[in-house]
Chain A
Amino acid sequence: MTSKQNRLLFFPYFIWIGLFVLIPIGLLIYQSFIGIEGTFTLENIVTYFTSATYLTMTLQSFIYAFLITVITLLISYPTAYFLTQAKRKDLWMLLLILPTWINVLLKAYAFIGLLSQDGSVNGFFDWIGLGRQQLLFTNASFLLVATYIEIPFMLLPIYNAIEEIDPNLLNASRDLGASSWESFKNVIFPLSLSGVRSGIQVVFIPSLSLFMLTRLIGGNRVITLGTAIEQHFLVTQNWGMGSTIGIVLIVLMVLTMILTSGRKKGKKGVGRS
C-alpha cells in the first residue's frame, strides 16, 4: 500500500496536518513574540512571568481544572463500571451520552434558570427552610456545571476500556478463587487505567480553557486561562499577550499528556506475573 496512487489518497490528510496543525501552532508561537506595537519583542513573556495577576490566574485555573477532573472521575468511574455490568448496556450508554448532543450552551442556560435567585433550586431551599442563597455566579456553581458537562466525556473512554477487557481474564480470576472485589481490584481496575488516562486528558485540558461558563455561570469570578485568551484576542485585541498565554496553556497541556500517557504497551504486559 505504498504506491503513488495511495499517496494521492492520503494527500488531503497531509495537507490538513500542514495547514491546520503545524502552521497554526507556528503562528501562535510567532505571535507571542509580537508586542502591542507590532514589533518583535520578548516583553509578553516577561510580563507574564513577572505579573502576579497572570501567575495567580494560572494557578487558580489549574486548581479548578483539577477539581473538575477529580469530581468527574469519581462520578464517572462507578457509572462506567456499572454500565458494563448492566443488561442493555449499549442502550444505557447511548442514553448517558445523549446529553452531549444537547448544545453545551443550552445546558449552561438551563443552569442559569435552575440556579438563579428565584430559580427552582432556591425554591426548594426555601421550602425546606434553608432560605434563598446566592447560587449563580459562585465558584461552586461553576464547578457544578463544568462537572455536569464533562461527565459523559469521562464516562466514554472508561466504559470502552472496561468493555475491551478480555472476559476470559475475568473468568480466569474467578476460577482461581478471586472474589468479585479482588477481580475488580486486580484485573478490571488496572486494565481500565488506560481509559481513565484518556478520560483525564479529555476533561482536564478543556477545563483549563473553559471560557463561556466562567461568564455565564461563574459571573467572571473565576478567570481561567481560556477566559484570558479569549479576552486578549476578541476584546482587548492584544493578540501577542493572548498567544503567550496560549503557549503557556499548550505547555500545561503537553505536561498533562506526558503525565497521563503511561505505558502504551500495557496490553502486552497483561501476562507479566
Chain B
Amino acid sequence: MKKKSFSWANLYLILIFVLLYTPILYLIFYSFNAAGTMNAFTGFTGEHYQALADDTRLIRIALDTFRVALLSSLFATVIGTLGAIGIFFVKQRKTQTTLLGLNNVLLVSPDVIIGASFLLLFTIAGFRLGFFSVLFSHIAFSIPIVVLMVLPKLEEMNLNMVTAAKDLGANNWQVLKSIIIPSIKPGILAGYFMAFTYSIDDFAVTFFVTGNGFATLSVEIYSRARQGISLEINALSTILFILALGLVSGYYYVQQQQRTRRRKLTDIDPTNHQKAVSP
C-alpha cells in the first residue's frame, strides 16, 4: 500500500514538472520554426538564432543584464552577510527584532512600491537614471535576501567555537575569517545564488528606475512582447534556458561536494574523538 501511494506522489510531481516546463519548452520548440509564428511548425531553421546573433542591440542589453546581476549579487552578498552577522550578534533582543523588521521591509514590499520609491529617491537626489540607478536598486533589493539566507546558518553555528577561538587568542577578524565565514558558507552561497536569480528575473523595479538609455532583458522583452510575437525572443529564451540549466547544475554540484566533504569530516571526527578520550 505504501508503495502504491508513493507512485501517485511521483505522478503528481511529474505532472507539476510537465506543467511548469510546457511553456518554456514550447518557446524553445518554436524558436526553430521556419514559419515565423508560434502555432504551426513548418520546418526546421536556425535563422532566428542568426537574427539574434546579428542583433547587436539585444546582445548589448543581455551583457548589461548579466553585468548588473553579477555585480549586484556580489555587493549584496558582501553587505548582506556582514549585516546578518551584525544582526546576529546584537545583544539587545529589541534592537535585533527592529533590525530584522527593517531588513524584511524590502523583502515583502511589492516590486512596484520599491520601484516607485526608488524612482522618487533617485529623482529627488538628482541621480541620473541608467546603469547605476539599476545597479544600486538591484543591490538594495538583494541585500535582505542574502541576510535571510545567512541568518539561519548563523543560528545553526556552534557558538562554543567562537568562544573557544577567542579563548585561544583569536581577534575578531580571525574569528570572522576562520570560524564564522566557513560555518555559514552554504548560506552565503545560497544568498548569492538567490540574489543573482532575483536580479536576472526582476522586471518591475528595473522598469521604474531604468530611464531611457539603459535597458535590461526584461524591459526589452516587455517592449517587444507588446508589439507581438517575434521568434528572435524564442531563440533568446532557448539560450537563457541553457545558461540557467548550466548555472543550476553548477550550484547542485557545489552543494553535493559540500555534503560529501561534510560526511567525510563526520566520518573522521568520531575516531579523533575516541583517541582524545581514550588515549
Size class of A's contact patch?
35 or more
Quote the shortest CB–CB distance from A11 to chain B (angstroms).
9
The answer to the question of A45 belonging to the interface, with a C-beta cut-off of 8 Å to chain B, is no
A81-103 contacts to B, CB under 8 A, are 82-83, 85-86, 90-92, 94-96, 98-103
Q: Is A158 an interface residue (CB 8 A)?
A: no
Instruction: Report yes or no: A205 in contact with B12, Cβ–Cβ below 8 A.
Output: no
Closest to B229 in A: A113
Expressed in whole angstroms, the Cα–Cα distance for A123 and B40 within the complex equals 10
Dominant SS among interface residues on chain A: helix
Contact between B172 and A106 (Cβ–Cβ < 8 Å)? no
Q: How far is the CB of B112 from chain A (nearest CB, A)?
A: 4
Which residues of chain A are near B91, meaning CB under 8 Å? 2
Which chain B residues lie closer than 8 Å to A202 at the CB level? 108
Q: Check: B59 CB closer than 8 A to any chain A CB.
A: no
Q: Answer whether A229 and B26 are a contact pair too, CB < 8 Å, given A22-B102, A85-B9.
A: no
Q: Does A16 contact B (CB under 8 A)?
A: yes
Chain A residues 1 to 56 lying within 8 A of chain B, measured CB to CB, are 1-3, 5-6, 9-10, 12-14, 16-17, 19-25, 27-28, 31
Q: Which residues of A contact B23 (CB under 8 A)?
A: 107, 110-111, 114, 148
Bits for A152-177, please: 1 = Cβ < 8 Å to B, else 0.
10000000000000000000000000
Q: Please give me the residue from chain A that is nearest to B244 by CB atom.
A: A101
* Given contact pairs A24-B120, A103-B218, A78 touches B12 in the complex (Cβ within 8 A): yes
**What does the 1/0 interface line of B116-128 toward A look like (CB < 8 Å)?**
1111110010000
User: Please, which residues of chain B bring their CB within 8 A of the CB of A104?
Assistant: 201, 203, 218
Residues of B within 8 A of A111 (CB): 23
Closest to A27 in B: B120
Stretch at the interface among B48-56, B220-228, B269-277: B220-228
B197 within 8 A of A: yes
Contact of B102 among A17, A28, A212 (CB under 8 A): A17
Instruction: Decide yes or no whether B164 CB sits under 8 A from chain A.
Output: no
Cα distance A114–B226 in the bound complex, in angstroms: 15
The answer, among A90, A102, A119, A216, for a CB contact under 8 Å with B225, is A216
Any B CB within 8 A of the CB of A226:
yes
B109 engages A226 (CB within 8 Å): no
Pair A6/B208 contact, Cβ less than 8 Å: no
- Is the CB–CB distance between B86 and A101 below 8 Å? no
B199-222 to A contact mask, C-beta < 8 Å, 1/0: 011011001100000000110011
User: Shortest CB–CB separation between residue B85 and chain A, in angstroms?
Assistant: 7
Residues in B whose Cβ lies below 8 Å from that of A10: 82-83, 85-86
Report the nearest B residue to A122, measured CB to CB. Answer: B39
| Residues of chain B lying within 8 A (CB to CB) of residue A83 | 13
- Compute how far the CA of A26 lies from the CA of B75 in the bound complex, rounded to whole angstroms: 25
A82, B221: Cα distance in complex, Å: 35
Residue pair B86, A206 in contact (C-beta under 8 Å): no
- A196 contacts the other chain (CB 8 A): no
Measured between beta carbons, the chain A residues less than 8 angstroms from B108 are 201-202, 205, 253, 257
Q: Are A151 and B20 in contact (CB under 8 A)?
A: yes
Is A68 at the interface (CB under 8 A from chain B)?
A: no
* Of B39, B204, B221, the contact of A113 (CB 8 Å cutoff): B39
Residue in B6, B16, B38, B136 whose CB lies within 8 Å of A79: B16
Q: How far is the CB of A32 from chain B (nearest CB, A)?
A: 11
B183 within 8 A of A: no
Given A13-B86, A98-B244, A110-B27, A233 contacting B116 (CB threshold 8 A):
yes
* Docked complex: B65-93 residues within 8 A CB-CB of A: 78-80, 82-83, 85-86, 89, 91
- B252-A94 in contact (CB<8A): yes
Q: Indicate whether A6 sits within 8 Å of B13 (C-beta atoms), given known contacts A17-B103, A249-B110, A250-B109.
A: no
- Alpha-carbon separation in the docked complex, A5 to B171 (Å): 10
Further pairs besides A96-B16, A102-B237, A113-B39: 7, Cβ < 8 Å: A5-B172, A23-B121, A99-B24, A104-B218, A105-B217, A106-B240, A109-B225
12 pairs of residues in contact across A and B, judged by CB atoms under 8 Å? A13-B82, A19-B121, A24-B121, A27-B124, A90-B252, A95-B17, A110-B24, A110-B27, A151-B16, A180-B5, A226-B111, A229-B113
